[in-house]
A and B are shown apart, each in its own frame.
Chain A
């Protein structure tokens, strides 16, 4: 695959990372502040002002850490926090964390700001101030080895594993070869792939941890009573969870697996990483990820600048903070939903293009979107965001053998 001569430019952040976007996020800190935050964002009506938030009133360490991670993501330049006033999220701690990262940040507390209408009005002017500050950020050259790309599949069918997913795998191999960081996830959708995945691990210890991590996912889903297998998967020709897994697995390409990380862990250097998204400990709080965007948010918390989203049935989602590139596996779905699909990998099945050619097309799309072009879901204003309750133990040193 060709090394591109395209020069990327990024927004420099104080922690050394660079963003491919310079967005303002408006973050509600409890569901009770969601409406006010949404009205602020819709009144400003700018593709680079995004709504994010956490709905829960009860404290959760994972949710707090995720909010800190996404509010200081390199694609984020400024932050407006919107609190009701009585929820348990540590709003001052979060505000200070964002300000300490060198970003402009403001906090509005609805109970102290005169209620709904006046907080919306104050929020709109706060966002306008933040936008004014952000407009002065100068970009700097950004190398490919500073880019982090995630992948996810959603609305999979029997074509996903033979067109879009292996094509993303080809793109991942090319990115990793250029020194970029790539990430795949959803260990519950890798049930059945644990042994072949372990063989690709950088060390035998890491391989064993990957097997244990998939066993944990299987236990967790067994307790929930369902695997990660939706009725639409069966409508599309997939029969079993392990069949879906094998198709999903091919997104990871053929590179060595350099590490096993958890939500919020930023990979220490380029290479391919597996993100464990299934909580540790006894199953509680419900399903690990209630829908695809919960996984995308976790990859963003790990620093992903953009996400490659493969779909057979035809998902239309995008994401707040990091653009989503849609790769459509099924040629019939592409015909129906062409305006939502950045890449037609269905061409592989109709014989119009080879796997390598589509892999190259995806690679070029990654460079174009990283250079500032809008992906289709981004231009359509898709900014989905899901954050729910979870709990994780920190990773051990054997999870990142490449660090030593």
Chain B
């Protein structure tokens, strides 16, 4: 919770040094920009609070780490700053379901 470098208005947090996603702590509009650990990010799309943002470029198949623990695998390639969610990440255990069907299939 402490790895913010924007003193007054942190946009994201890094929950564990091994994580390859950042977590938004406020709503980030499309085009929003922020710096984190020396890297500049620009949001290609709006991302709501509590969501995951790719910390680095990652190929399909990459295990995503949050809290320092694996939370699933990418089924699409993502660029640094991209929103990581149902459209590119799936469970390594049981598939998630949405109101319209099963995710990641």
Contacts and interface: CB of A to CB of B under 8 A. Distances in A.
Contacts of A331: 49
B89 A246 contact: no
A241 B69 contact: no
Interface stretch (A6-14, A157-165, A204-212, A263-271): A157-165
Contact of B49 (A158, A231, A233, A348): A158
Given A221-B94, A226-B94, A242 B71 contact: yes
Contact of A237 (B51, B98, B103): B51
Contact of A192 (B26, B71, B95, B96): B71
B67 A239 contact: no
B60 interface: no
B55 interface: no
A321 B9 CA distance: 43
A238 B1 CA distance: 18
Contacts of B10: 351
B93 to A, nearest CB: 5
A159 B49 contact: yes
Interface in A235-262: 236-243, 246-247, 250
Interface residues of B, number: 35
Contacts of B23: 158, 162
Contacts of A243: 66, 71-72
Nearest to B13: A162
B52 A246 contact: no
A234 B98 contact: yes
A243 B86 CA distance: 12
A192 B70 contact: yes
Given A158-B49, A159-B50, A234-B86, A192 B67 contact: no
A227 interface: yes
Contact of B89 (A226, A239, A351, A354): A239
Interface string B53-94: 000000000000011011110000000000011100111111
Interface string A30-70: 00000000000000000000000000000000000000000
Contacts of A121: none
Contact of A239 (B1, B49, B84): B84
Nearest to B95: A227
Contacts of B98: 231, 234
Nearest to A222: B94
A277 B33 CA distance: 45
Contact of B71 (A246, A312, A350): A246
Contacts of A380: none
Nearest to A351: B10
A360 B76 CA distance: 42
Interface in A340-369: 348-351, 354-355
B93 A332 contact: no
Contacts of A238: 50
B43 interface: no
Contacts of A157: 50
A331 B91 CA distance: 27
Nearest to A250: B67
Contacts of A158: 23-24, 48-52
List the 5 closest A-B pairs by CB distance, nearest first: A158-B50, A227-B94, A243-B71, A240-B91, A237-B51
Interface of A: 157-162, 191-193, 196, 218, 221-222, 226-227, 229, 231, 233-234, 236-243, 246-247, 250, 312, 330-332, 348-351, 354-355
Interface of B: 1, 8, 10, 13, 15, 23-26, 48-52, 66-67, 69-72, 84-86, 89-99, 103
Given A227-B93, A231-B97, A246-B67, 11 more contacts: A157-B50, A193-B69, A221-B94, A226-B94, A229-B96, A234-B85, A239-B89, A240-B96, A242-B70, A330-B49, A349-B25
30 contacts: A158-B23, A158-B48, A158-B50, A158-B51, A159-B50, A161-B67, A162-B23, A196-B69, A227-B91, A227-B95, A229-B96, A229-B97, A231-B98, A234-B85, A234-B98, A237-B52, A240-B71, A241-B93, A241-B94, A242-B69, A242-B71, A242-B72, A242-B92, A243-B66, A247-B67, A312-B50, A330-B50, A331-B49, A332-B49, A350-B26
